[in-house]
Structure 1
């Protein structure tokens, strides 16, 4: 199939129009958000300090400086797209220097550990029977959680991987009936944890995690709550301050108060969008603790004031990319002038258009603050087949 001639494939007129419109929009937005062109499509991103870490469809992970825009490190070793990543620092008990570890998950079904100082691979594990879609680290508990298209949530003890060996399985959850897309959670003071998992069916679950005293320890997930208010794929999930924020391709964002004092109240109405929501950044859960929600739905970024969860206010919406936005992150941009360190909040977004774009938070809180040139849709022309195309189509129909 690698030598298939696609030049004679029939393409619908609507596809041609959409493709032409996106090409036109790419030209109009070529400077908006100071785009950094990537060599592939970013499938997962994390921002640490002034760097963005990217897992992409070229099977590599990269570290890029957001100021200089230079690629600082490249991690190659996966045989498929890198669809999940996580970063954490070790907590040595012997007083040695902590190491920053990069964990990557891939369509090749493996999880790999990398030392970010040496860029060397530390450990590789055949972790799932399908794509690895999400990773979550509980550093103090020495626990890694992974979610996969094989519908499993798996627990891994970090010790073996940090010693250069494959991960050791420490338990699993098999309650999902569809691919597990999102993970988030909270370490508890008693050595246990709470874990939130969500899938492409639109179901989310809250689990109480506890471990036994075996070596390595075994982890068990006890179901506490089921959330079934989405109609389809939950694409993003964030937990903090007793609140669960979820985004879905059913065109909604839901917010649930889970603290005992508030959970019996009527839940806020969903925040609806014209298309499916792929990603959200709830700033109330961030170090900023600001009452703003930023969403990515289609190629548009939207900014909401969520001071009142029952009546959120749309502050701004603007074309940010020329294709679907897939991730949004907070960047606390640090700069120094005359010995004074300044920290300013920026927003980082990425999308299927293979760009990373950056937005000063203060700017996008104002309506119409981002103004690309007007996009004029291409003129719709009448489609006519040539005599040769009509003959070929007739032959295809007759062959049925």
Structure 2
């Protein structure tokens, strides 16, 4: 049957089938993981108490109450500035303020009063996208990494009480964009889009290079620390515990984030969460409808963030014994709206004639 929907004229049968499958998954996943739905893609996440702070593609960082089903309306925007996409987010507590840091496409780091939403400072110096932020409480420091291949170290001494953040050090050891940061004690780890991981040591208010760790084949998307050591997640379809010998968790697609708890939990480009016991995957959890970008612990729950614009709240029981998604069969209208092979040939001839 020939379609009369002009929106479908330049879609192949495969395109239409994929779109229909996506719609069925979205419907099936509506209540999976106790979701909180936001208005744009979630790129990063941090949690303070019962509040989640999100960095989003929709030109906003947001404050979300994790105890309710609908998000609060508090967002971090400047009345006089058109904000870009926020790539990353971090928090720091002072004696008088809870400070929120956002790193953005416009090469800046912004410092906000997390309670009032007021913009306090805009830090400049990076020459490309800011990709990751890391707060060190003592001494009060902020690390920012960028696509400009550098890591900057900022003093937070007195910030929130009238003192401006001051850039103390610019590290230029990486040859590719620096995508993520992590800390374990006095050790700082940086990782880039070529898979290179470097270790530094905090000495006073400066970082001293220690060594390069074994590399991934391509971009490192997340770093996390546990009692066992440093975990790295990579686009090369693996998550690795950087010990000798290494523990390697093999995935079918790019690994975007990792959370070491009693079990290792990973989130991937294929939209699934996986739970690992040693090097064995013991659970695959479906529910998100786009790549998973962050995993965080909240009390006894795990919070996952995704490009599908949702935060989902999982108990460990739900992760270890996941609810399978129930898909409905395609209805007659779906089947009739797909182009036949003859229609696809006619379309190809039409496009050729136009050329």
TM-score, L = length of structure 1: 0.78
Distance 1:240 1:391 in 2: 59
Post-superposition offset of 1:242: 5.2
Query: 1:299 pairs with 259, 271, 274, which one?
Result: 271
Post-superposition offset of 1:393: 2.9
Matched, 1:346 2:301: yes
Match of 1:234 in 2: 220
Alignment check: 8 A CA contact 1:106 1:133 kept? yes
Post-superposition offset of 1:14: 4.5
Distance 2:142 2:153 in 1: 6
Alignment check: 8 A CA contact 2:152 2:170 kept? yes
Query: 1:112 pairs with 88, 94, 110, which one?
Result: 110
What's the secondary structure of 2:246's corresponding residue? coil
What's the secondary structure of 2:116's corresponding residue? coil
- Which deviations, in whole Å up to 9, do the C-alpha atoms of 1:309-330 show, x marking residues without a partner? xxx3322112121111111111
Distance 1:348 1:385 in 2: 44
Distance 2:246 2:117 in 1: 46
Alignment check: 8 A CA contact 1:46 1:52 kept? yes
Match of 1:393 in 2: 352
Query: 1:90 pairs with 81, 90, 94, which one?
Result: 94
* Structure 1 residues 113 and 371: CA distance shift in structure 2, 3 A: same
| Structure 1: gaps spanning 5 or more residues | 1-6, 92-97, 188-192, 212-216, 258-264, 284-289, 307-311, 333-344
Alignment check: 8 A CA contact 1:82 1:106 kept? yes
Match of 2:327 in 1: 374
Matched, 1:31 2:31: yes
Alignment check: 8 A CA contact 1:125 1:166 kept? no
Distance 1:321 1:376 in 2: 20
Post-superposition offset of 1:156: 0.8
Alignment check: 8 A CA contact 2:44 2:305 kept? no
Alignment check: 8 A CA contact 2:97 2:160 kept? no
Alignment check: 8 A CA contact 1:123 1:164 kept? no
**Number of positions where the alignment pairs a residue of Structure 1 with one of Structure 2:** 339
Match of 2:318 in 1: 363
What's the secondary structure of 1:159's corresponding residue? coil
Query: 1:134 pairs with 126, 132, 135, which one?
Result: 132
Describe how 1:132-281 pairs up with structure 2 within 5 A.
132-159=130-157, 161-164=159-162, 166-187=164-185, 193-211=186-204, 219=206, 221-241=207-227, 243-257=229-243, 265-268=244-247, 270-281=248-259
Describe how 1:59-70 pairs up with structure 2 within 5 A.
59-68=59-68, 69-70=70-71
Q: CA RMSD in A?
A: 2.5
| Structure 2: gaps spanning 5 or more residues | 1-6
What's the secondary structure of 1:46's corresponding residue? strand
Greater length-normalized contact order (CA 8 Å, ≥ 6 residues apart)? 2
- Which deviations, in whole Å up to 9, do the C-alpha atoms of 1:2-23 show, x marking residues without a partner? xxxxx79966665444333222
TM-score, L = length of structure 2: 0.87
Distance 1:313 1:14 in 2: 34
Match of 1:329 in 2: 296
